[in-house]
A and B are shown apart, each in its own frame.
Chain A
Amino acid sequence: MSLRDSRSYKVVFAPDYVINPENYPDMPKTLKIYEGIKNAGYGIVKLPAIDLPEDQIQDWIEIVADMIEEYQKRGYAIALITIECLEDGGVWLSRLRAELESRGLKIPKVVEFSRGELEKDENLFSKIKSIF
């Protein structure tokens, strides 16, 4: 049984689009953000698809907030990735902010990617590497 621990203590909370661009017909079909996160050695907490039925969304927001709270408390570096051209950043950003504020928590660093960056991706890897 392995007993080494290689964790990076760095976690990004990311929209579904980052892993499943095929769920978004009008968006570039690129996994470049995922590739950048993988190469940078960050863990990913992926949110569900943005068009999830309304009655299911709040439960997911609550557990995402629970994870943010836990990682912040333990001193992990965390950030929130958003996509400019997706509704509410692709992560229900306004509702997530409200949930975090209601708990008196700090809003994690928000790193936004534009459609242009996704299409050209020249500086994508360095932008991801410099998140933390």
Chain B
Amino acid sequence: MGGKAVFIAHCILNQNSKALGFASRPGLVEWLIDFLKQGGCVVEQLPCPEMLYLGVNRWWHTRDQYDTPGFRRHCRRFAKMVAGLMEYYLRRGHTIVLIGIDGSPSCGVNLTGRNPYWGGEPRASAEQYQVVEGMGVWIEELIKEVERRIKRFKVIGLAMDLPGFDLKETLKMLEAELEG
């Protein structure tokens, strides 16, 4: 696993950036950071475009609500910054890995959250948040920029906020992905 620069979703190091109701820990997701550091990885933290756009008191959002030209432009600004940081690590001989949060409207890699009817008066239940296949808006914009500038990189989605999350299986999968 050494020689990898692993770019992780912002909230993995800072649960205080989550939309209210979704911080599963006081500070950081320790099992993942410990795993990456024990494996000799450099860990880089992505910006959180949700928090930087709507703040920490934002309502829950779906991908549909973030899928606007303005939010995408906001994401592209950060994508350029992150791609520059990835190039910094490439010049030092690292390989690049990106870890997103499956189920997230912005950070999802394989799964995101949708509901085309959310909007207006803020009344919603978690059950109305439909987890479906697809990427979050931030990861989508980031990958576009990174694909343009960097030839080889790996993208991993972790469903750590979704029901049925299996830590043991996830660690096994991560080990295999990061060895390869």
Q: Which residues of A contact B (CB under 8 A)?
A: 1-11, 19-20, 22-23, 31, 34, 37-38, 40-46, 48-49, 52-53, 56, 59-60, 63, 66-67, 70-71, 73-74, 76
Interface contact B16-A11, CB-CB below 8 Å: yes
CA distance in complex: A37, B5 (Å): 22
Find A3's partner among B16, B26, B126, B162 (CB 8 Å cutoff).
Answer: B126
The 7 tightest CB contacts between A and B, nearest first, are: A41-B26, A43-B14, A7-B23, A8-B26, A43-B16, A1-B126, A44-B13
| Interface size class, chain B | 35 or more
* Chain A contacts for B56, CB-based, 8 A: 70-71, 74, 76
Query: Per-residue CB proximity of B8-24 to A under 8 Å, as 1/0?
Result: 00100111111011111
Give which listed residue, B15, B45, B81, contacts A7 with CB less than 8 A.
B15
A22 to B129 Cα, complex, angstroms:
41
| Residue among A23, A46, A60 having the largest count of chain B Cβ atoms under 10 Å | A46
Give chain B interface residues in 19-73, CB to chain A under 8 Å: 20-28, 30, 33, 37, 40, 42-45, 47, 51-52, 55-57
Check if B84 is an interface residue, CB within 8 A of chain A: yes
Task: Say yes or no: is B120 at the interface (Cβ < 8 Å to chain A).
Answer: no
| B13 and A48 contact, CB distance less than 8 A | no
CA distance A11 to B45 in the complex (A): 14
CB distance from B116 to the nearest CB of A (A): 19
> Could you jot down 30 A-B contacts, CB within 8 Å?
A3-B22, A4-B24, A5-B18, A5-B21, A5-B23, A6-B24, A11-B14, A23-B42, A34-B33, A34-B37, A38-B33, A41-B25, A41-B26, A42-B27, A42-B28, A43-B26, A44-B14, A44-B28, A45-B45, A46-B43, A48-B88, A49-B88, A52-B88, A56-B88, A63-B78, A67-B52, A70-B51, A73-B55, A76-B16, A76-B56
